[in-house]
Amino acid sequence: MKSDLPSVNDSEATNSTKEGESTMQKRKLGNSDLEVSTIGLGCMGMSFSYGPPKDKQEMTSLLGAAVERGITFFDTAEVYGPFLNEELVGEALAPFRKQVVIATKFGFNLSPDLDPRGMKGAPGMNSRPEQIKKAVEGSLKRLKVETIDLLYQHRVDPNVPIEDVAGAVKDLIEEGKVKHFGLSEAGVQTIRRAHAVQPVTALQSEYSLWTRTPEKEVIPTLEELGIGFVPYSPLGRGFLTGKIDENANFDSSDFRSTLPRFTPEALKANQGLINLLGTIAERKQATPAQIAIAWLLAQKPWIVPIPGTTKLHRLDENIGAVSVELTPDDLHDIDYAASKIRVQGARYPEHLEQTTGR
């Protein structure tokens, strides 16, 4: 099926709305009853990490446009801002509360003067049960909801047994303040131990054509336990759109300026992935970004990527990925070509890489 190609201005985006609505499908996260749109919307970049917070009115309009186009799954966290992103999402989605699923995260000691890139002076982890309950009270107020649909532990806290974390969330579920429990960037043993205390609905971790670490152990474990998978950065923080090359210049307020994978040398070395996506995109009458998302959707029926954007035409482009059908031959070609490409550069600086995959 021919995909939606990205619109170039707002009037064209409006014309494609009906198409977006008609093509948006639903998926269930694992064995749970949590049904969401086939792709969600990662909201972090509206307030955090990618330069200064964006215009609130523009982002409110974008969130409304996402709902109109059939997106029902929105991802935020108290650390994004901190607090600003939850406030934005809560206010913007209040008129659509019954139509949408909002996911947020806990796990840090926060203060309003946190580095907006989330990199330098990063907050200390804190998943003690009393902190979780305090965080949830704040999130409920900012999101303007009575119940949080999906609550993730943002990063595994080495100082708090995961059983205590799962137990605290279980209490919150029993109190009606939370519906579903999630983990982020957790390793398989942590997932199993948490799941034994309180069933885990979803794992959110980085997964894309240039970050395939979850394939070895994590995805088989999720399949075995019936847990959904929510890949963040499915477009490689913008790299897989094909719009970033070794000449890219990132402002100091953009956290990509600190990432090993975004040095000019690494960006140049990793262009092979872009060439691959471009070749497949031409064959399918799509864009590289759409192929990258469609590839993720083709991996498992319980995978729901959450590409982030602050632009309406990118939102439409991402939604168009749902209409791209990759055949077994297409998938074989992508995997074969990708296996020949060795991605250069670590995902995070060393001090942050240590907080992932426990």
Q: What's this model's pTM, rounded to 2 decimal places?
A: 0.90
> Can 80 be counted among the known catalytic residues?
yes
Identified catalytic residue from 50, 80, 152, 207: 80
Per-residue pLDDT, 352: 76
Per-residue pLDDT, 122: 58
Count how many domains the chain has: 1
**253 in a domain, yes or no?**
no
| Angstrom distance (rounded) from CA 56 to CA 91 | 10
The domain in which residue 132 lies consists of 10-236+299-324
Distance, C-alpha 50 to centroid of its chain: 14
- 346: CB partners within 8 A, 6+ apart: 259, 260, 261, 353
**345 in a domain, yes or no?**
no
**267 in a domain, yes or no?**
no
| Angstrom distance (rounded) from CA 205 to CA 187 | 10
**119 in a domain, yes or no?**
yes
Helices and strands in the chain, H and E counts: 14, 9
Low-confidence ranges of the chain (pLDDT < 70): 1-23, 111-122, 353-358
**49 in a domain, yes or no?**
yes
**158 in a domain, yes or no?**
yes
**280 in a domain, yes or no?**
no
Give 345's DSSP letter.
S
Per-residue pLDDT, 18: 38
CATH number at residue 191: 3.20.20.100
Q: What is the pLDDT of residues 186-240, one digit of tens each?
A: 999 999 999 999 999 999 999 999 999 999 999 999 999 999 999 999 999 999 9
Round to the nearest angstrom and report the end-to-end CA distance of the chain.
40
The CA angle 86-87-90, to the nearest 5 degrees, is 80
**149 in a domain, yes or no?**
yes
Q: Which helix (H) or strand (E) holds 278?
A: helix 271-284
Q: What is the pLDDT of residues 75-103, one digit of tens each?
A: 999 999 999 999 999 999 999 999 999 99
